[in-house]
Amino acid sequence: MPTLRIALAQVNPTVGDLAGNAATVREWSRAAADSGAQIAAFPEMMLTGYPVEDLVFRKSFVAASTAALRSLATDLAADGLGELPVVVGYLDADGGPRNALAVLHGGEVLTTYYKHHLPNYGVFDEDRYFEPGDTLTVIRLAGVDIALTICEDIWQAGGPFAVAGRARVGLVVNINGSPYELNKDDVRLSLVQRRAAEAGAAIAYVNMVGGQDELVFDGDSIVVTAGGTLLARAPQFAEHLMIHDLDLPAAEPDAPTGDLGEMSVRRVEVPAAPPAPSSLVEGGIADRVTDEAEVWHALVLGLRDYVEKNGFRSVVLGLSGGIDSSVVAAIAVDALGSDRVVGVSMPSQHSSGHSKDDAADLAKRTGLDYRIEPIQPMVDAFLANMSLSGLAVENLQARVRGVILMALSNQEGHLVLTTGNKSELAVGYSTLYGDSVGGFNPLKDVPKTLVWKLARWRDAEAERRGAEPPIPENSIAKPPSAELRPGQLDTDSLPDYDELDAILAGYVDGDLGRDQLVAEGHDPALVDRVLRMVDVAEYKRRQSAPGTKISIKAFGRDRRLPITNRWREHPS
Amino acid sequence: MPTLRIALAQVNPTVGDLAGNAATVREWSRAAADSGAQIAAFPEMMLTGYPVEDLVFRKSFVAASTAALRSLATDLAADGLGELPVVVGYLDADGGPRNALAVLHGGEVLTTYYKHHLPNYGVFDEDRYFEPGDTLTVIRLAGVDIALTICEDIWQAGGPFAVAGRARVGLVVNINGSPYELNKDDVRLSLVQRRAAEAGAAIAYVNMVGGQDELVFDGDSIVVTAGGTLLARAPQFAEHLMIHDLDLPAAEPDAPTGDLGEMSVRRVEVPAAPPAPSSLVEGGIADRVTDEAEVWHALVLGLRDYVEKNGFRSVVLGLSGGIDSSVVAAIAVDALGSDRVVGVSMPSQHSSGHSKDDAADLAKRTGLDYRIEPIQPMVDAFLANMSLSGLAVENLQARVRGVILMALSNQEGHLVLTTGNKSELAVGYSTLYGDSVGGFNPLKDVPKTLVWKLARWRDAEAERRGAEPPIPENSIAKPPSAELRPGQLDTDSLPDYDELDAILAGYVDGDLGRDQLVAEGHDPALVDRVLRMVDVAEYKRRQSAPGTKISIKAFGRDRRLPITNRWREHPS
């Protein structure tokens, strides 16, 4: 049984940065070769980043991708890495755009493969963008047959993995741009195990890591045996080069080729290979972490990459002393460091003493750049010149704060962070062009009840490490309030957040109707009230900033509802 | 040769309004029967409205659609219309969601058909939403065989029309939710003629009319002979019942059925039919109009339906005396009447005398509700409390105006209209949360050069009718300026609009790369400058209000680009 040393490069590409992504491949291929790897695999669309969306339709972009691929092959050989087969995702255009991978070897593109199963649900629109491939590529390397596949190929039964089984390969490499969702790692392992059984082959699964607009890729690269035994697993949310030695069946001289049912098989011999390993290396199995830790790391990475990849040096946010802005500040400081985070307290006549104290306390704990900008003079100027009352005055205060944050952004170059949580956004409990102002919202997909849990987890984590907990206990414990009128509390307008979040999970993530929610045990009047709020808030949500997606359905791109719509689950 | 009297009901449904849409079908079926029609056809997804997007995933919504269909069948019979076959689009769920049509007759659902070709490009995402049908339904009515098809079925060769040809039908009915694009009517007629040849049958094409978020459906229903001769054509942008008598070949007793290649054929006899017509009726051929008239009517209808269907009574917009806000005001007055439009002049210290005069002149000409709200006191309050300079001060003025408009909206209930044109939006020449504030933007998809043409067309049209031209000549003729600093002109920051719009058309609508644009004769330095502006403005555009789509690619939903993206056509 040959032993093959594989290198899975769990790296963080940037969409559109062909030169930078190619440099990453060269650097990590060097490290893989230094570790004695006989093959190195990089994520889906590694060269272009993922997803590239409508850039696919730009011929100049496709041409740049294929040119970068050829240059990369040459450069790897010039680096002295020509013998190492490097599997890398890129964008091709062969009878239509292709979500493709190439094997680079000996300074050339040895062979390619085009993704067969194209996902067109949730955040994916690949039926718009790509033509599906119908040929499975199998390379023979150091006496082992290896089938090459891309992402969704592993999520659907049939197709590449079934054909790989008929082709009697020893290993299937699957390269991914698989976005994070809460608990997706659990689904992922059992999926890889199931598909190993279907192919009767070991699987090496490599995923990208990093933030891209609303998506965050969590890594979590995996190696399993044909029998489904987990051999190695990379950590989530960190770049990682996983080197693992795999015992694999020798390639069969008479293994079938050509038409094998759903797909045909193309076989390619890798003419030279690095030598087999002399001592055994294992990739190790990274520990799983709690839900709160997982989400926290996703939000930190999502924010960091949004800021860095878009070229911002710093962020600014309003600090109310409440839980949402405190948690966003802590995430921002974890992502960027306290010297790159500006927090602005913008008290009004309705701001309580504890709000100002709690904001100052958070600033002291985190060390961020703290400013105070009272809003009353600007609010008064509007009130003196217009006849406003009630909700219009409440919203005015939030909008004056928005103008202040945007003025600081224009003057000093910060990205403005929004701090509204998913529960608030869902029911429209925010001011359009007020507290919703900003370029990125870390909590956009985080329900209020989870915001509290994250705060408690982060503080406990600090205590565990002997550091100062960043979030003041008072911000966590006090009843939430928008403080836009005297004595206002969230509970004046909203149900209890435990009940609200449960109904939202059913209605938004689960697409349940009113009657199903009532059948689940929710109070009918409360269901009607919440659904009415959600339906009315659709326009506001569309106008809100992007934010890292952590669940099945964030608001925004992957929730597509008509604005103009008379359908109501509830009595109107 | 039997003569069949058909009724094409070019009506305006509302998404989600199942009861209202069913009532429309009953009312127009009554009118069709009163006109002696033997069959009446309504648009695609008539009962639910179109597009319903993610409502498809709500089981309760699908159930409501099928229940509404059954009730409609019963109600039509109760109305005494049971004998008239009524073809109506709806949402079904038979092995997955279906974009379906039903023939209602005798108080029952006589038969159904599921759309075969599902569009998944441009504004369409039907691969996400629907399962394709694989059976063509042919009804025999009054001795004529009629195949029933839906929208995209007519845009692709092969499939339903080819199979209808093999089934030797006399007529194909095609029901549509086909959105307007500039000059789409020209494409549409030649398409229908081509498909008539493919089927060897006459075609009755009925399209919906009305606005739905960013889409506007233009009607333009068509009847052609098997030879492609245009017999009847409905006007664009208006509801219309088109009654036309068609001479059609008699059904063949031995016409083939069952599997006919790409699809199988289901044949259904309509057991009773209204009597054949005794005198000849023709539908008439509506005149085509100029491009400017077509776009104007599209924008007026798109705005009116957005306002009405979302339950607003009135709109408010800022009037600068410039061309964009003047044109939006004229569109709004045409759409809603002058008593439902509020225009606010918000002069600053940089506003010229002519700006205030021209805004007042427009208000007088259109009769809208005119207000004046100077912004200097509010701007001064910010400047007194913050250290701002340069662009931050320019943006501050635009944002104070945004706060004023939103305060009026909150206080009085108006929908705020945005007035930035497509050229400005493309290059980011606007202030986020400033002049971009608003719920709907009639000019979102209108390039600046077309804004001027529309203004001249509208004024000339008024003169032709002996009415007062709504848009002051001075607003059309003067050089455009944002007036955010002394003596500022658009040309300080932007190229000439003729050149700008030509490059934008290539880069945005045509997906051309830099080198192609240069090869087309554009100045390389100017191309680089414009492309840089467009790429940088992506985030602002995402945050902008919806607006009626009139071209291949509006910004917003149908232009899907990553925000985080390092790819540049131009040297960075």
A184 annotated as belonging to a binding site for a ligand: yes
Tell me the pLDDT band of A540, cut-offs 50, 70 and 90: confident
- What span, in angstroms and rounded, lies between the C-alpha atoms of A356 and A320? 7
Minimum mean pLDDT range among A163-177, A340-354, A527-541, B318-332: A527-541
Name the token pair of A426. 């869902």
Do A205 and A233 touch, CB atoms closer than 8 A?
A: no
3-class DSSP state of B133: coil
Query: Tokens representing B187?
Result: 């494409």
C-alpha gyration radius of chain A: 26
A366-394 per-residue burial string, b: 16 or more CB within 10 A, e: under 16: bebebeebbbbebbebbbeebebeeebbb
B361 or A509: which leads in pLDDT: B361
Q: With 70 as the cut, is the pLDDT of residue A136 above it?
A: yes
Please enumerate in sequence order all residues whose Cβ is within 8 A of that of A94, keeping only pairs 6 or more positions apart, or say none: A100, A114
For B365-419, what is each residue's pLDDT tens digit?
999 999 999 999 999 999 999 999 999 999 999 999 999 999 999 999 999 999 9
Q: Measured between beta carbons, which residues in chain A are less than 8 angstroms from residue B305?
A: 564
List of chain B residues whose C-beta atoms are within 8 Å of the C-beta of residue A125: 125, 128, 560
Q: Is B131 on the interface with A (CB under 8 A)?
A: no
Kindly report, residue by residue over B167-224, the tens digit of the pLDDT.
999 999 999 999 999 888 889 999 999 999 999 999 999 999 999 998 999 999 999 9
Of B18, B48, B391, the CB nearest to A410: B391
Chain A hits for B15, Cβ within 8 Å: 562, 564-567
Chain B environment of A545 (Cβ under 8 Å): 543
pLDDT score, position B417: 96
Structure tokens at A470: 């960043």
- pLDDT at site B509: 86
Residue A538 annotated as part of some ligand binding site: no
Q: Which residues on adjacent β-strands are paired with residue B258? A: B265
Using a CB–CB cutoff of 8 Å, tell me whether B546 touches chain A: yes
Does position A118 have pLDDT exceeding 70, yes or no? yes
At B561, is the pLDDT very low, low, confident or very high (cuts 50, 70, 90)? confident
CB neighbours of residue B311 within 10 Å: 10
Q: Which helix (H) or strand (E) holds B241?
A: strand B240-247
Yes or no: say if B88 and B47 are a contact pair by the CB < 8 Å rule.
yes
pLDDT of residue A554: 63
- Write out the residue limits of the CATH 3.60.110.10 domain(s) in chain B: 3-269
Let me know: does B322 contact B481? Beta carbons within 8 Å.
yes
> Do residue B560 and residue A395 have CB atoms under 8 angstroms apart?
no
Given an 8 Å threshold on Cβ–Cβ distance, is A410 in contact with B395?
Answer: yes
Residue B569 has pLDDT above 90, yes or no: no
Beta strand extents in A45-84 (DSSP E only): none
- CA-CA distance, A340 to A361, in Å (whole number)? 18
Phi, psi values for residue A309, rounded to 5°: -70, -20
- Total residues found in chain B within this entry: 572
* pLDDT at A160 (0 to 100): 98
Q: How far is the C-alpha of A433 from the C-alpha of A401, rounded, in Å?
A: 9
Contact with chain A for residue B571, Cβ under 8 A? no
Number of C-beta neighbours around residue B465 at 10 A: 8
Q: CA of A325: how far to CAs of A214, A224, A437, in Å? A: 19, 42, 13
CA angle A343, A348, A349 (to 5 degrees): 150
| pLDDT at res. B550 | 75
- 349-378 of B, contacting A, C-beta below 8 A: 373-374, 377-378
DSSP sequence for B485-546: STT--HHHHS--HHHHHHHHIIIIIS---HHHHHHTT--HHHHHHHHHHHHHTHHHHHTSPP
With 0-12 / 13-18 / 19 or more C-beta atoms within 10 angstroms meaning exposed / middle / buried, residue B95 is exposed
DSSP state of B60: H
Chain B residue at shortest CA distance from A52: B562
Smallest CA–CA distance, residue A389 to chain B, in Å, is 7
| B20 CB within 8 Å of a chain A CB | yes
How far apart are alpha carbons B156 and B167 in whole angstroms? 18
pLDDT over 90 at A414, yes or no: yes
Q: What is the pLDDT of residue A539?
A: 81
Nearest CB to A513 within list B60, B410, B567: B60
Q: Do A516 and B560 touch (CB under 8 A)?
A: no
Residue among B61, B65, B58 at smallest CA distance from B102? B65
CA count, 13 A, side-chain hemisphere, B428: 14
Residue A19 Cα, gap to closest chain B Cα (Å): 10
* Cβ-based burial of A237 (10 A; exposed 0-12, middle 13-18, buried ≥19): buried
CB nearest A513 (choices: B58, B306, B545): B58
Cross-chain residue pair A378–B373, CB shorter than 8 Å: no
Cis amide leading into A442 (omega within 30):
no
For residue A176, pLDDT over 80 is answered with yes
Four-CA torsion A7, A33, A107, A43, nearest 10 degrees: 20
Task: Report the catalytic residues of B.
Answer: 44, 115, 151
Whether the CB-CB separation of A544 and A425 falls below 8 Å is answered with: yes
Binned at pLDDT 50, 70 and 90, residue A556 comes out as low
d(CA A165, CA A316) in angstroms, rounded, equals 54
Task: Confirm or deny that A219 is annotated as ligand binding.
Answer: no
Chain B residues whose beta carbon lies within 8 Å of the beta carbon of residue A310: 563-564
The band of A547, judged by pLDDT with boundaries at 50, 70 and 90, is: confident
Q: Return the beta strands (E) in A180-301 as ranges.
A: 202-207, 209-212, 215-218, 222-224, 230-233, 240-247, 258-259, 264-269
- In the predicted structure, residue A17 carries a pLDDT above the cut 80: yes
Token pair of B45, please? 């997804």
Residue A150, SS3?
strand
Angle at B299 between CA B296 and CA B300, to 5 degrees: 85
| Selected catalytic residue, list A131, A151, A422, A444 | A151
Interchain contact A561–B (C-beta under 8 A): yes
The ipTM, to two decimals, is: 0.95
C-alpha distance from B268 to closest chain A C-alpha (Å):
33
Q: What's the mean per-residue pLDDT of chain B?
A: 94
Which CATH number is B291-490 given? 3.40.50.620
Minimal Cβ distance to B403: which of A53, A382, A543 = A382
- B410: chain A residues, CB-CB within 8 Å: 388, 391-392, 395
Residue pLDDT, tens place only, A420-455: 999 999 999 999 999 999 999 999 999 999 999 999
Which CATH code for domain B3-269? 3.60.110.10
Residues of chain A with CATH 3.40.50.620: 291-490
- Beta-carbon count within 10 A of B156 CB: 15
SS3 A19: helix
CB within 8 Å: B125 and A125 = yes
Task: Give the model's confidence band at B545: pLDDT under 50 very low, under 70 low, under 90 confident, else very high.
Answer: confident
Of A384, A411, A563, the CB nearest to B388: A411
> With pLDDT > 70 as the criterion, what percentage of chain B qualifies?
98
Residue in the structure block whose two tokens are 């004056």: A400
